Structure 1
Amino acid sequence: MASFETTSTPSFAGRIRDTFTVFAAQVADWNEKRLTRKALEQLTDRELEDIGMSRADIPRYR
């Protein structure tokens, strides 16, 4: 009985789509972190302390 290989390398269009998908996910992740930093920067020192953070912790959300 003969067997056939059913896996193949992705087409050029498939690789472009995959690259775009990864890029879009990275942009979405960057934007979410940016919005989080922006929201944290608007909190008072007391509010940051309430959630166990300080101003020095905000840049860690990169």
Structure 2
Amino acid sequence: MTTIETNRSAAVGGIGNIVAQFISLFATWNDTRVTRRELGRLSDRELDDIGLCRGDIERIARG
């Protein structure tokens, strides 16, 4: 009985870790997407005002 409970809690923890990693990956992807979209909406002049060019957007978004 003890072995079953130990294995069960290890399996539940493993699934929890997978879910937590998925949520973290999704949050990172979404932050990158939002940053890329918002910087892409700026004009070239606005980007220049903050010291960026269009080529910098991807690098900044991936941060």
TM range (shorter): 0.7 to 0.9
- Aligned structure 1 segments of 4 or more residues deviating by more than 6 angstroms: none
Identity of aligned residues (%): 42
Higher share of residues assigned helix? 2
**Structure 1 unaligned blocks of 5 or more:** 1-7
RMSD: 1.8
- 2:19 is aligned to 20
TM-score normalised over the length of structure 2: 0.77
Provide structure 2 residue ranges, at least 5 long, that are not aligned to the other structure.
1-5
TM score, norm. by length of structure 1: 0.79
Q: Which has the larger radius of gyration?
A: 1
